Structure 1
Amino acid sequence: MNIYRHTFTAVCPNDAEVIVYSLEIRSPQMILVEHIKTATALIKEGYQEQIADELAERFGGDQVIKAVHQGVEIETVRLSG
């Protein structure tokens, strides 16, 4: 099992707040860190749940994204299979 953790930012389309996201991917497959960095850098704007769907489709594995938006802590989980 490989565990990858990365922090990135994206703008909320609802209120234009810059959100800091913490991503964790657990995968039996190797994922190049450059691919994770590029994929997250391409995400300029979006809702956390939609971002999670996009990253889960791209990388697979079990994923958790955490962020705080307007004082509300959000944890989004996407499980493989």
Structure 2
Amino acid sequence: MIGWNIYRHTFVAECPSDSDQIIYSLEIRSQSMIRVEHIRTATALIKHGYHEAIADQLYERFGGEQRITATHQGVEIETLRVPA
């Protein structure tokens, strides 16, 4: 059987270019269990960064398939990270 666990979490980080507080929506689809405490801790440690770099960092930590969305200066940004 192939099954997925889907985790969704919202967090805030500062844009290093203009110091805007950006609200990110994270979705992780994983065949493994991920402790919610680990997701909350990992995102709480992200104080600032560019959207794409944050996506890379979380993908490196949790793997699976990940989607992160945010709106910054009126531009909606969506990143997808999937296994190669």
Both structures adopt the same fold (TM-score exceeding 0.5)? yes
Q: Is there any run of 5+ residues in structure 1 with no aligned partner, and where?
A: none
Larger Rg: 2
What one-letter code is carried by the residue in structure 1 that aligns with 2:83?
Answer: S
CA distance in 2, matches of 1:69, 1:8: 14
- For 1:19-58, what aligned pairs fall within 5 Å after superposition? 19-58=22-61
Query: 2:33 aligned with 1:15, yes or no?
Result: no
List, as ranges, runs of 4+ consecutive aligned residues in structure 1 with deviation greater than 3 Å: none
For the aligned residue pairs, the C-alpha RMSD in angstroms reads 0.4
CA distance in 2, matches of 1:80, 1:26: 11
TM-score using structure 1 length: 0.99
Deviations 1:11-67 (A, max 9, x none): 000000000000000000000000000000000000000000000000000000000
Q: Is there any run of 5+ residues in structure 2 with no aligned partner, and where?
A: none
What one-letter code is carried by the residue in structure 2 that aligns with 1:41?
Answer: A
Structure 1 counterpart SS, 2:67 = strand
CA distance in 2, matches of 1:62, 1:35: 16
**Percent identical residues:** 69
TM-score using structure 2 length: 0.95
